[in-house]
Structures are given as structure tokens and as C-alpha cells.
Structure 1
């Protein structure tokens, strides 16, 4: 960690993986902006962490609203002048629509949040990330966004994941976004990674996941605090059948 306090922003952080990540980053000594679109929920979440002695502040940010994103970036610029860690966590879960039943509205809604939001937020905060000594960008992805996991082995559990087209497609897009930003920024100290939290008990799945948000946050914070000699463009986390996080290259 730098002698100067590091600044982090986590979007969609009023609950679940985002909330646990905000807590963990603050426990590591960072000043954390807890991003949420709903002021009441976001303020309550930030106050919970602040009451525990953590340096966490609510910031209003709706990843589908360009004005909201710009205002959040301007606030961080005014108050801090830089951003060391950006976690693009805001997202929505699956409509459980098989390919032949998907509607345009379902595609548009999920891409707007899971994909477009990550790009617009990253671009809005990139000038502040460039002001940090060695910033880190972490995009929350999923194993279902991996082409190799989903399509290469007909005998695998992931191959059998047919019930939805939309969510896996958005996460495949997040993986491509991660790789393209990593290439653009490869000659800078900024590292860009995609985190695979695993099957986490959240509102997305009716809390049926076998991993906790805190376990998922460990993956995110590992990528958010990568050392200078670590690779960029990683797709890393909890893969099916693996107890420990693994680093996967190539055909995501």
C-alpha cells in the first residue's frame, strides 16, 4: 500500500458482493466510496460500515445515467483528485430466458447495466485513475461468461447451463471489455482484471449460492491490490470444481 491513503469506488455496493468488497477494501486501509443508485439504501449501507470505524462514504451513482456518473466522477475529483481502485460491481441477474425465448427488452435492459454501465463508468473515472500511482480496475464477471467453460466440454456442468442466454452473454462482453482495456493501458501502471466470484449467495439467486459475499470479496480485493509485477488482463477467481482461485488464459 502507498503511504498516501488509497481511494476506492465500488459500484452497486449497498448489498451483496459490492458491500462485502467495500468493507474489505476499507479494512485494508482505503478510503472507500460506496456507490449505489438509491440514496436511502446507499446511505444506510455506508453508515453501517462507518459505524464500525471504517472510512466509507456513500456516493450516488446510477450506471445507466450518464449525468449521475459524471457527477460522481466530479465529486471524487473535487474531494480526492485521484482514484486508486475502481470496482465495476453494479449489475443485475438472469431473466432465465433460453435463446429462443429472449426478448429485445431483456437484452437491452441487462446490457445497459452489466455492459454499457461498466464502460461508461470506467471512461468517466479513467482520468482520475491515471492520477494514481498504480490504479486497479476490477470488473465483476462470471464463469458463465467463459466461452471455453460454456461451449467446449459437453460433459461439463457449465455446458449444461442452457436455461439463459442474456446473463452469460453480458458477462462474455465484460471479459472482452476487460481484455481490451488491459491492452490499451498495458504501457501504464494501471492493471485491469475480471473477477469470478463463483456461485455466491446473493439476491440474484435467492441466496442459494454455496459461497459467501465475503469469500467473493477476497477475490475482488486480491485483484484490486495486485503487485506491480502481476499480469494485467486476468480472468481469475472461483471456477467450478476448483477449491482455490485459478488464473485462466486464452479463450475465456
Structure 2
């Protein structure tokens, strides 16, 4: 593949799965996260699988931290082909029982609301804003912003997670238009259902086990590799659902 990709929030869950898939496809990959211990464990895990990745500490809420990552990429790689905005925190940060005991928005603390939006929405903006100058200099590049089902954006008890991802989708569509003339593609990718990640507490996983089966994070592998590849060049402003990827791609090429 020969692409250079940076994935935020890649020490576990969807981010780790996408980093694994990209590295396995031949991309040069940097995984980032704000927790150094989990980041080191993720890199070690990928190395044990025979995948060579770089690990960079990055807090998407901290502009100095982001700038350091941009500088590293510019110095060591000379540019970037794919930025995956994935870092985020979930509803469990404001309500650990969000799946079984939904909490109305008016009971959510202002601090909890701000912290989640700062990470899940403002973080996407800050990271993209910092890396786009590299893309503009190259006159090419790709950004993939990770999202979620529209149903969750309307679901009872899902403030502030729902609004944060709804905002990220609007941000993505506007970014796509702002960058279209520069040959820079911006797309959205989402699993297509509840996924077996740290976003869902273990206790809640046990409670919902009888209701539906959680998706594996590996569902993101095939679509993220496609979005990194030259075959998707010029595709922008799309919202791609991983569980429907095969059908979506067949329709695209028909």
C-alpha cells in the first residue's frame, strides 16, 4: 500500500482494529492515544503480530500535544496520506449505567458535557486543523472521521455523546466542501451497530447479551483499508456504514 496513516485513539477498540488493518495492508502507521501505558501495550501487541507501527502520545484536546505530533510526522515521514479521527470518550464517562438506566439531559453535569464534547467534537476539529496544512502543501490527502448510527443521536439518555457525533458529522461534511478543490478527501465511517469496545462497561455487556450481539471492532478493517487506498481517491463527503460496506462498494462500482 505504501501509505502513511495516523490513527487517533488507537490504543484499543475501533482505533486499534483500524491501525492493525492498515498496517497489515502495508501502510506505515502511527497509533496515538493520551495514555502512555495502554499505547505501549497496543504497540507491543501489534509488534507481536508482526506489524511495525509507531506510537505517539497525543491528547486531542491539547493543541501543543497535537502540534508535537504534526512536527513528528513532518520530520520523520515528510507528509501524511491518511488521518483517522477516532479518539473519543463514551457515555460511561457521564453515566456508567447509560444502557440500562438512561439519564435525562438535564441531569448531566456541565463538566461532563464539556469534557465529552471537547474530546469527541472539538478534538476532531483541532487535529484536522493541525494536519491539513500538510495536505494542502501536498495537494492531496485523506481524512476519515469516525461516527455512529443516527439512531444513537436521537436516543433517550444519550446526551452528550449523541450531540458530539452529530456535530462531527456536520463538521465532516463542511470539511469535505472546504477541501474539495484541493484534492483532499473527507469521509465518515461508522460500525453500523453497538460494538464490543471499552465504550460499553463489562457489566452492561453482560446485561445486553441476550438482546443483541455486539459487533467486533474488526468490522472497520475492510472499509478503512479501502479509504486509504488509491481506489478511493476523489471520493469525498460520504457516510460509510461498515456493516453495509460490501453492498455500498458494489453499488459504487456498478
Scaled by the length of structure 2, the TM-score of the pair is 0.82
| 8 Å Cα contact 1:98-1:165 kept in structure 2 | yes
Structure 1 runs of 4+ with >6 Å offset: none
CA distance in 2, matches of 1:245, 1:91: 28
Cα distance change of structure 1 residues 213 and 135 upon mapping to structure 2, 3 Å threshold: same
- SS class of match (1:162): coil
Q: What is the deviation of 1:245?
A: 6.2
CA distance in 2, matches of 1:170, 1:128: 26
CA distance in 1, matches of 2:116, 2:134: 27
CA distance in 2, matches of 1:15, 1:132: 30
CA distance in 1, matches of 2:82, 2:233: 17
- How big is each residue's C-alpha offset from its partner over 1:60-103, in whole Å with a ceiling of 9 and x where there is no partner? 11111111111111011100110001001100111343223233
Cα distance change of structure 1 residues 212 and 228 upon mapping to structure 2, 3 Å threshold: closer
In the alignment, which residue of structure 1 is the partner of 2:173?
A: 179
Q: What is the deviation of 1:133?
A: 6.5
Cα distance change of structure 1 residues 68 and 238 upon mapping to structure 2, 3 Å threshold: same
- SS class of match (1:8): strand
| 8 Å Cα contact 2:188-2:239 kept in structure 1 | yes
Calculate the aligned-residue CA RMSD, in Å: 2.3
Q: What is the deviation of 1:28?
A: 1.0
CA distance in 2, matches of 1:162, 1:43: 37
In the alignment, which residue of structure 2 is the partner of 1:58?
A: 55
CA distance in 2, matches of 1:62, 1:237: 27
Aligned residues, how many?
230
In the alignment, which residue of structure 2 is the partner of 1:153?
A: none
| 8 Å Cα contact 2:187-2:239 kept in structure 1 | yes
In the alignment, which residue of structure 1 is the partner of 2:197?
A: 202
CA distance in 1, matches of 2:89, 2:57: 18
Aligned 1:60-75 pairs, distance under 5 A: 60-75=57-72
Gaps of at least 5 residues in structure 1 are 151-157, 248-252
CA distance in 2, matches of 1:245, 1:121: 31
- How big is each residue's C-alpha offset from its partner over 1:27-84, in whole Å with a ceiling of 9 and x where there is no partner? 1111100101122221221122123222201111111111111111101110011000
Q: Which moved more, 1:91-100 or 1:185-194?
A: 91-100
CA distance in 2, matches of 1:246, 1:92: 28
Aligned 1:1-252 pairs, distance under 5 A: 1=1, 5-94=2-91, 95=94, 96=98, 97-132=103-138, 134-143=140-149, 146=150, 149=151, 161-198=155-192, 199-206=194-201, 208=205, 210-225=214-229, 227-228=231-232, 230-238=234-242, 246=248
Q: What is the deviation of 1:220?
A: 3.1
Gaps of at least 5 residues in structure 2 are 206-212, 250-254
Q: Which moved more, 1:206-215 or 1:127-136?
A: 127-136
